[in-house]
Structure 1
């Protein structure tokens, strides 16, 4: 079935909090558009941190990560609270007289993204706790109210059974696409916060699989791989960023979500683009898109990426929550709570039918004109976003589409 939804994106964040003594190991109002803008810049900052470690494929869900830490934000105080705010780029949205504003904005954003019910987009959160662990009633009320979190009791001392229960939860929330989120678990774990996002969308303009042919993809000047290249000629929204020497193409899904492709010109090294991608620039691309007939050639690809964010976030300024200086006293009266591990896992599958799974500036954005072909045969960036809010759901970089 040509319109069968086959493209799926899956994103997961696991926050493992060990409850052991620490000495042992403003505008008047803020909107969901403001939150989306801030979250996008956080996404770009995290992308740059990941890309500084390697030149391989990248794929993650900034919304999944920021939502998890927004929940943790309600549990934090003092310097820990300030650091989480700063790294998430949410300082400007903090209101002393509205302590629930940020979680409320996340709640409204989720409602806006899923409001028509036709988009296959499930965003779930669960709190797994030890039977003896008592969390603050206010935190329990808020995480349920704003994030609709499931609160489940597990015996972490029985690591085998705990791993089975947690993986079963993720398997259920992703319709069996992710079967193993975690493979090991410390028996001292007292609390685990799990966030899962499942997205499945069909292209508004599907590619015809009969036209898919093997074609070269130029990883760099010395490495070429053969990939199944999809083809479609139709009217698409495109633009060109002259100063960045890159082209932009919007590939819409059927229900208010689109993939935006950023393709550097052949003479432009993709690494030179990294520092130039910002929320403001992203919105300028969207604002300048113009519809025209285009021949699109795009590789099929699928990949799965895992990140140990506890090794990345401290280098972005979020340090105390992982240390003896952690302040998570709004989560529990136990002052010995700190965050030990943050895991993020993401998977995407793009084929002919779909994906399972702003203000103008002076940077020279113009409608993309001749030649009216868009051949994605070299490293590119992609962003999956909700059009009404410009909320960035997922983002990635494809260096080698044959590398899973």
Structure 2
């Protein structure tokens, strides 16, 4: 072999090696990547909501991201880019694979409900004005990946279309969410509705005979009486020393769990708002250790509604709500936009379990635990699917007596 031939072979070898390594760095995203991104989206959305008031908060980030991931199938150009960026999913995009993210959502849903033990029903529906002809390819895609419905309604007949949508929601949530639409705005063209219904029974139910009225300290000056559930058992618990908060896991039958994050008594819960992210959430779960504990938790019921078309523009999802929206994948007709996105979430936590309709290792330890975990002040809670770490619901309870 001549020196020239040797150099050519060496050059080709280097090129092939570089090409292989570049392919390896562009691995196809999986469900773990999706759930991680969904948790950070959940925290971003939570912060937008919490910045507007100091009340109770409850919503389903999975429901919201699923609805907009479905809508992204219709979106083109900057409208689609804004949706994926706002959902924190843009880094999962791969050229020439527009169906990749919908497929991930499809696989995630299959993983959550595959054995039927977990009662979780999701439903996505697009209600579009009669004047718009829906593309058959879009209807097929949204049905295939999200088991979603696209319905034409006459928004000009406000009362009839309102009842059509509310009836759909009642059916999908086991009658837990009775009304999501109270009025139809004039000139409404399209409404995006996503429902999620969760029913979880505690792995170890609380004994109702142990539930007693007790004090809950909203702040230094406001105290309310709440029915406080009690149990003594071995629980999984961790301590986030950096945040100055304790973490408690309460498992449900069927592979889901509630994670309660309780700030220390001298810590303002608003300080924690800015620090919660996917990495921290997953490290709480990873660092849980079993210990014998007395647990006191208030029974509570929350019902919260959000007009997401008023919140999401501040998270970068803007075009889709304006006449510059590009939804050519749904309809070739011009001037179509999303008029309203309504999200309503309901949760009831009692001795039996939960009915809900509608997520750094430094300083996280699992020792020096208290023997009592008393949830008698504002706290955060997360309901997640354990096998995938998919965040189904999250909330903040400031006053458990406020429904």
Q: Could you say whether these structures have the same fold, taking a TM-score greater than 0.5 normalized by the shorter chain as the test?
A: yes
Whether 2:310 is the aligned partner of 1:288: answer no
User: Tell me, what secondary structure is at the counterpart of 2:340?
Assistant: strand
| Aligned structure 1 segments of 4 or more residues deviating by more than 4 angstroms | none
Alpha-carbon separation, structure 2, partners of 1:151 and 1:318: 22
Per the TM alignment, residue 327 of structure 1 is displaced from its structure 2 partner at its CA by 1.4
Alpha-carbon separation, structure 2, partners of 1:129 and 1:222: 49
Whether 2:134 is the aligned partner of 1:125: answer no
Per the TM alignment, residue 309 of structure 1 is displaced from its structure 2 partner at its CA by 1.2
Name the TM-score, length of structure 1 as normaliser: 0.90
Alpha-carbon separation, structure 2, partners of 1:141 and 1:116: 26
User: Tell me, what secondary structure is at the counterpart of 1:273?
Assistant: helix
Per the TM alignment, residue 401 of structure 1 is displaced from its structure 2 partner at its CA by 0.4
- Distance change (3 Å), C-alpha of 1:78 and 1:43: same
Q: How does 1:208-287 map to 2 (within 5 A)?
A: 208-287=207-286
- Distance change (3 Å), C-alpha of 1:277 and 1:174: same
Deviates more, 1:185-194 or 1:134-143: 185-194
- Distance change (3 Å), C-alpha of 1:403 and 1:99: same
Check the 8 A contact 1:349/1:355 in 2, yes or no: yes
Per the TM alignment, residue 156 of structure 1 is displaced from its structure 2 partner at its CA by 2.4
Alpha-carbon separation, structure 1, partners of 2:254 and 2:71: 31
Name the residue aligned to 2:50.
Answer: 51
Per the TM alignment, residue 27 of structure 1 is displaced from its structure 2 partner at its CA by 2.7
Name the residue aligned to 2:104.
Answer: 105
Per the TM alignment, residue 166 of structure 1 is displaced from its structure 2 partner at its CA by 1.3
Alpha-carbon separation, structure 1, partners of 2:278 and 2:159: 43
Per the TM alignment, residue 132 of structure 1 is displaced from its structure 2 partner at its CA by 4.4
Deviates more, 1:142-151 or 1:155-164: 155-164
Q: How does 1:341-356 map to 2 (within 5 A)?
A: 341-356=340-355
Unaligned runs of 5+ in 2: 1-24
Deviates more, 1:270-279 or 1:155-164: 155-164
Alpha-carbon separation, structure 1, partners of 2:97 and 2:393: 29
Whether 2:158 is the aligned partner of 1:159: answer yes
For the aligned residues, what is the CA RMSD? 1.3
Name the residue aligned to 1:398.
Answer: 397
Q: How does 1:57-76 map to 2 (within 5 A)?
A: 57-76=56-75
Name the residue aligned to 1:309.
Answer: 308
- Distance change (3 Å), C-alpha of 1:370 and 1:140: closer
Alpha-carbon separation, structure 1, partners of 2:369 and 2:289: 13
Check the 8 A contact 2:190/2:340 in 1, yes or no: no
Whether 2:133 is the aligned partner of 1:134: answer yes
Per the TM alignment, residue 134 of structure 1 is displaced from its structure 2 partner at its CA by 1.2
CA deviation map 1:80-102 (0-9, x unaligned): 11111111000111111211000
Alpha-carbon separation, structure 2, partners of 1:35 and 1:187: 37
Deviates more, 1:181-190 or 1:227-236: 181-190
Name the TM-score, length of structure 2 as normaliser: 0.91
Check the 8 A contact 2:212/2:227 in 1, yes or no: yes
More helix by share: 2
- Distance change (3 Å), C-alpha of 1:353 and 1:131: same
Check the 8 A contact 1:233/1:296 in 2, yes or no: yes
Per the TM alignment, residue 371 of structure 1 is displaced from its structure 2 partner at its CA by 2.1
Per the TM alignment, residue 221 of structure 1 is displaced from its structure 2 partner at its CA by 0.8
Alpha-carbon separation, structure 2, partners of 1:314 and 1:191: 17
CA deviation map 1:297-331 (0-9, x unaligned): 00000010011111111111112222232211211
Deviates more, 1:186-195 or 1:82-91: 186-195
Name the residue aligned to 2:39.
Answer: 40
Alpha-carbon separation, structure 2, partners of 1:292 and 1:210: 24
Unaligned runs of 5+ in 1: 1-25
